């Protein structure tokens, strides 16, 4: 039996842009990362269980760490974790999460990468947080509302240009994607566009 085809929450919007997307801009670009491998766990035994799998965990809630072979682990609360972008770790979690006090969390997020020299301007226009605070503490994870959508945001530590990853409920993904693209166009005109990965 074939596995169901996985589609991004913004698949239809991406299809409409095929062939007419503008080039990636150093000013501001949005890229869909919704189909990266992802897992979540929570519960009173989650931290010890993840550590037994060989993962180093963020020491405090609302923090994140890069995983050694790619991806990241974010601590969303006292005992809830999001693992993103590392297929090996995600598969290991999916195969072994059958432990008392450890509960899988279904992660069907829409996830985007925002990058460019005007990333902070986008955040200032769309939510009430000045994301320059992440420059001072790049391990910080922020939970806020962006154009009315609850998001989790981290500032990535790599690359010459400022960049952030954000996650939201997949049902709001298309709205957030389209709204952010409109604002990006306003900020970067005439060089705005959608980067497809």
Residue 81's CATH number? 3.30.70
CB of 64 closer than 8 Å to CB of 58: yes
Rounded to 10 deg, the angle between the 119-126 and 173-188 helix axes is 120
Distance of CA 57 to the CA centre of its chain: 18
Does residue 161 share a domain with residue 139? yes
Local confidence band at 8 (pLDDT 50, 70, 90 cut-offs): low
Number of domains composing the chain: 2
Does residue 114 share a domain with residue 25? yes
Average pLDDT, the chain: 85
Residue-range definition of the domain harbouring residue 123:
11-34+109-195
Of the residues 105, 131, 159, the one at which a domain ends: 105
Query: Structure tokens of 140?
Result: 């910080």
Q: What is the pTM of this model?
A: 0.83
Does residue 153 share a domain with residue 129? yes
Query: Structure tokens of 80?
Result: 């809830």
Q: Is the confidence at residue 188, as pLDDT, over 90?
A: no
Q: What is the pLDDT of residue 135?
A: 77
Helix/strand/coil for 68:
coil
Does residue 42 share a domain with residue 19? no
Does residue 157 share a domain with residue 100? no
Does residue 44 share a domain with residue 29? no
CB of 46 closer than 8 Å to CB of 39: no
Does residue 138 share a domain with residue 101? no
Query: Structure tokens of 3?
Result: 């596995």
Tens of pLDDT, residue by residue over 13-64, are: 655 654 444 445 688 999 999 999 999 999 999 999 999 999 999 999 999 9
**Does any domain span residue 4?**
no
């Amino acid at each position: 039996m074939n596995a169901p085809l996985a589609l991004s929450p913004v698949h239809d919007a991406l299809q409409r842009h095929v062939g007419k997307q503008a080039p990636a801009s150093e000013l501001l670009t949005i890229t869909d990362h919704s189909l990266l491998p992802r897992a979540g766990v929570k519960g009173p035994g989650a931290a010890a269980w993840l550590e037994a799998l060989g993962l180093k965990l963020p020491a405090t809630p609302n923090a994140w760490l890069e995983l050694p072979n790619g991806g990241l682990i974010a601590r969303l609360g006292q005992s809830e974790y999001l693992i993103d972008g590392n297929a090996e770790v995600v598969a290991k979690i999916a195969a072994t999460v059958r432990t008392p006090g450890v509960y899988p969390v279904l992660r069907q997020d829409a996830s985007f990468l925002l990058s460019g020299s005007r990333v902070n301007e986008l955040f200032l226009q769309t939510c009430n947080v000045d994301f320059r605070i992440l420059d001072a503490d790049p391990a910080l994870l922020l939970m806020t509302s962006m154009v009315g959508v609850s998001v989790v945001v981290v500032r990535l530590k790599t690359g010459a240009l400022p960049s952030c990853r954000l996650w939201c409920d997949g049902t709001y993904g298309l709205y957030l994607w389209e709204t952010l693209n409109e604002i990006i166009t306003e900020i970067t005109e005439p060089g705005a566009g959608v980067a497809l990965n």
